[in-house]
Amino acid sequence: MSSEDLERYESEMELALYREYRDVVRIFKYVVETDRRFYLCNAVDVKVRSETGDAYFEVSMNDAWVWDIYRPARFAKNVKVLTFKDVNVEELQDSDFKLPEAD
């Protein structure tokens, strides 16, 4: 596989991932960003831990979708992330995730 083929493949995968994100964002309440991943979820809990002297974050999410090109399954029932880096949690507004009304 040439480098051009690989770049084309990755571009196609990124576009497919964006389209999936656009389709599923309406069913989630929260956006969670960590240093390694981007998540959509319906429940999130962030705790600051310091058992070893250094503070870190324990992030627990339920009903999550993970932005990751290389994951074969992006939906996860429960996700737990431990990180020493910043965590950003945003609640989506109702207008951001309303489902279309049935005909």
Q: What is the largest CA-CA distance in the chain?
A: 57
* Dihedral (CA of 90, 77, 72, 12) sign: negative
Q: Specify the pTM.
A: 0.79
CA 95/CA 103 separation, integer angstroms: 19
Q: Which of 41, 35, 89, 99 is nearest to 65 (CA)?
A: 41
In a structure prediction context, what are the per-residue pLDDT tens digits for the chain, which is 103 residues long?
788 888 888 899 889 889 989 999 999 999 999 999 999 999 999 999 987 788 999 999 999 999 998 888 899 999 999 999 999 999 998 654 455 565 5
Q: Which of 13, 53, 46 is nearest to 30 (CA)?
A: 46
C-alpha 10: how far from chain center: 19
